[in-house]
Amino acid sequence: MSSSSSIGICTMKPSCRILISYKGSSIFGVSPHRTNPSVARNLSKSQFKSIYCRSYSSSQILGHKGSVGPSRRAFCVSDQGWSQYGSISSICCVHNLKGSKRGILVIPRIASDTRNQSTSVGAHVNEKGFERIYVQGGLNVKPLVIERIETGLGVVEEREDRVEDDNLSVHTESFTGLNERKDERELSEIEKEAWKLLRSAVVNYCGAPVGTVAANDPADKQPLNYDQVFIRDFIPSALAFLLKGEGEIVKNFLLHTLQLQSWEKTVDCHSPGQGLMPASFKVRSVPLDGSDGAFEEVLDPDFGESAIGRVAPVDSGLWWIILLRAYGKLTGDYSLQERVDVQTGMRLILNLCLSDGFDMFPSLLVTDGSCMIDRRMGIHGHPLEIQALFFSALRCSREMLIVNDGTKKLAAAINNRLSALSFHIREYYWVDMSKINEIYRYKTEEYSTNAINKFNIYPDQIPSWLMDWIPETGGYLIGNLQPAHMDFRFFTLGNLWAIVSSLGTQQQNEGILSLIEKKWDDLVGHMPMKICYPALESEEWRIITGSDPKNTPLFFFCSPWSYHNGGSWPTLLWQFTLACIKMGKPDLARRAVDLAEERISADQWPEYYDTRSGRFIGKQARLFQTWTIAGYLTSKMLLEKPEMASQLFWEEDYELLEMCVCALNKSGRKKCSRSSSRS
């Protein structure tokens, strides 16, 4: 869309106006501290909208045309013109009936920017200065009042006054270098098709790309929520675009999802933590109240309140942080992660993850279905996937967090958690032949701090399949660990991400790849890769999944190995590729990519495959699944540009190891089993 074709007015989401007040600032001529919060909260959607929309006229808008910065695409109201409304942070697009865009306005602060505003110029604003945030809700959203934001670690958010004319617009200059990179070779027909499909999955908001839909199957009459932009699904799309030198969509995605983070989310009468990122969002067009035939685009997030089973999207925030780092690494544009609003968003996620609870373990305690496996599959508690993403997000934050007086406690908490978490996972999640034998001979009911069998694991828990399956060499990290419970299933994403982030030791990481190689037929089969191995069977399936027919069990009258229950998910190819490149085994990744290439396009890019070896297109699999397409493209590009791949993984951090050794020594432990990895 050309900039000249747009004019703009108004809001982030008509159904969820955001009204944010600060001491001393005035909104619509009403001083917020004189406004009774309940009045603000009780304004109806239309009352609110009418106040809001009356506060500027089209002539005002057009009158400020000249103030649009070079990187803006719209007629915007100048910052100066808006300073009196400085506490409003919202965006919308207005279209006429025919759908041609009449305009957009990008008001120079996205929602989370409001967290960073101050009425005092250039100063940090303390807790008193930052009074309240009121969110006037519509639809699912109810008013939000935030007295202040605390980090949960005794750190109160400080706010800076920072005027950024084009917070939401993309600095295309940053990508100049990347765009100049030319593809060295002619793309294959499959790659060309994949790029075409990926581009057709792009979702625009206010004329700018902000993400990709989960699936884009024209024949699908019941897309459910597959027509939404899922945070986790967008990661391979983002990487494909970044590796191709196209950063705009990724930057927009990061900033818009950041906006959504500060919305209040409710399931019934309960609100989860403020830092929660949505599982997905949709761009909707809604008629503009009181206007003739005009409509506006709004972002409508799902924080789990609509998701099947009301699952909490714990992984979204972790992926968001991981992508933020990747964006900086692959574009060289570190200014995004340095922005105050982005730093604040990151801190909110971290606060949510690092807040004190009842936990005895450093691993993150979550409910079932809180990640890629977003249905009940017995992965509540401390599932490996979440731990690996948590660890990665902490490593990213360790690099990106700007440390100052306000964040030094958080920085220390990140370091402590990193070393405790890696110790915990390396020590207690790892299994190989000798560890299983050790568990097999465990004594139980040990009481004391010196217990060997700390979690009171009963040896009978070792499943019979594992005894035969575990190779002489190599091993893996188990799926979950809780008191008296080890989930011995192999979960692919968690294991791959443990390699990528160096959550495992070098030896363990090598062991995981070695096991995948040895168990190729089980874990890769006809289509990379199994989401988990093996599938749950009969009674276990009934109890663990709650008799979920989509997660079809290994049952004599069912076609077994389906969907999350041992199905094969081609999107995992990019994570496998990254892990192989890191471990110096690109040929192994090539083997998997070649295998996928044999049929993935002919099969129309399915979401997942069924059967033990992944031979059939999944019973209910979507076709033209975007992360299947993007995962394939990302794998191809990572293999072609290993130097770019190396920006996306981490080596061992010896400083963290040192901290762990010291902590264990202090607590009287004799040895740290990881000290060997130093060599």
Q: At its nearest, how many Å lie between ligand GLC and the CB of residue 521?
A: 24
Among 166-174, 226-234, 343-351, 477-485, the segment contacting ligand GLC (CB under 6 A): 226-234
List 372, 478, 500, 583, residue binding ligand GLC (CB under 6 A) = 372
Q: Which residues pair with 381 in a beta bridge?
A: 366
Among 83-91, 166-174, 224-232, 642-650, the segment contacting ligand GLC (CB under 6 A): 224-232
Among 125-133, 179-187, 225-233, 502-510, the segment contacting ligand GLC (CB under 6 A): 225-233
Q: At its nearest, how many Å lie between ligand GLC and the CB of residue 527?
A: 16
Residue 385 binds ligand GLC, judged by CB under 6 A: no
Residue 113 binds ligand GLC, judged by CB under 6 A: no
130 or 320, CB closer to ligand GLC?
320
DSSP-derived 3-state class of residue 340: helix
Sheet holding 145-146, edge to edge: 18-21, 132-135, 145-146
Pick the closest to residue 523 from 489, 558, 478 (CA basis): 489
With b for 16 or more beta-carbon neighbours within 10 A and e for fewer, the 343-363 pattern comes to bbbbbbbbbbbbeeeeeebbb
Residue 213 binds ligand GLC, judged by CB under 6 A: no
Structure tokens at 39: 């009045």
Q: At its nearest, how many Å lie between ligand GLC and the CB of residue 232?
A: 5
Residue 541 binds ligand GLC, judged by CB under 6 A: no
How many Å apart are CA 16 and CA 275, to the nearest integer? Answer: 18
- Spell out the long-range contacts of 216-225 with Cβ–Cβ below 8 A and sequence spacing 24 or more: 216/624, 216/626, 217/604, 217/622, 217/623, 217/624, 218/624, 219/623, 220/622, 220/623, 225/280, 225/282, 225/302, 225/306, 225/307
336 or 371, CB closer to ligand GLC?
371
Q: What is the DSSP string of 46-68?
A: HHHHHHHHHTS-HHHHHHTGGG-
237 or 677, CB closer to ligand GLC?
237
Residue 374 binds ligand GLC, judged by CB under 6 A: yes
The answer to whether 338 touches 328, Cβ cutoff 8 Å, is no
How many Å apart are CA 426 and CA 574, to the nearest integer? Answer: 24
Q: At its nearest, how many Å lie between ligand GLC and the CB of residue 490?
A: 18
Q: At its nearest, how many Å lie between ligand GLC and the CB of residue 210?
A: 17
Residue 233 binds ligand GLC, judged by CB under 6 A: yes
Residue type, 407: T
List 149, 197, 214, 639, residue binding ligand GLC (CB under 6 A) = 214
Residue 429 binds ligand GLC, judged by CB under 6 A: no
137 or 570, CB closer to ligand GLC?
570
Pick the closest to residue 169 from 256, 59, 44 (CA basis): 256
Looking at the chain, the number of H-run helices and the number of E-run strands are 24, 18
Residue 319 binds ligand GLC, judged by CB under 6 A: no
CB-based contacts of 382, cutoff 8 Å, min separation 6: 361, 363, 364, 365, 366, 480, 481, 482
233 or 333, CB closer to ligand GLC?
233
**Binding to ligand GLC, residues 334-353 (CB under 6 A):** none
List 72, 115, 232, 382, residue binding ligand GLC (CB under 6 A) = 232
278 or 504, CB closer to ligand GLC?
278
Q: At its nearest, how many Å lie between ligand GLC and the CB of residue 528?
A: 17
Residue 436 binds ligand GLC, judged by CB under 6 A: no
Angstrom CA distances, 598 to 21, 566, 643, stand at: 58, 21, 27
Q: Is 507 exposed, middle or buried (0-12, 13-18, 19+ CB in 10 A)?
A: middle
Among 199-207, 227-235, 325-333, 629-637, the segment contacting ligand GLC (CB under 6 A): 227-235
> Residue 276 carries which DSSP code?
P
226 or 241, CB closer to ligand GLC?
226
Pick the closest to residue 383 from 297, 272, 498, 255 (CA basis): 498
Residue 569 binds ligand GLC, judged by CB under 6 A: no
How many Å apart are CA 617 and CA 603, to the nearest integer? Answer: 7
List 134, 230, 319, 497, residue binding ligand GLC (CB under 6 A) = 230
Q: At its nearest, how many Å lie between ligand GLC and the CB of residue 62?
A: 42
Angstrom CA distances, 204 to 101, 181, 621, stand at: 12, 25, 25
Q: At its nearest, how many Å lie between ligand GLC and the CB of residue 278?
A: 12
22 or 230, CB closer to ligand GLC?
230
Output the residue with the shortest Cβ distance to ligand GLC: 214
Among 17-25, 228-236, 265-273, 291-299, the segment contacting ligand GLC (CB under 6 A): 228-236
Per CB under 6 A, residues contacting ligand GLC are: 214, 226, 230, 232-233, 372, 374
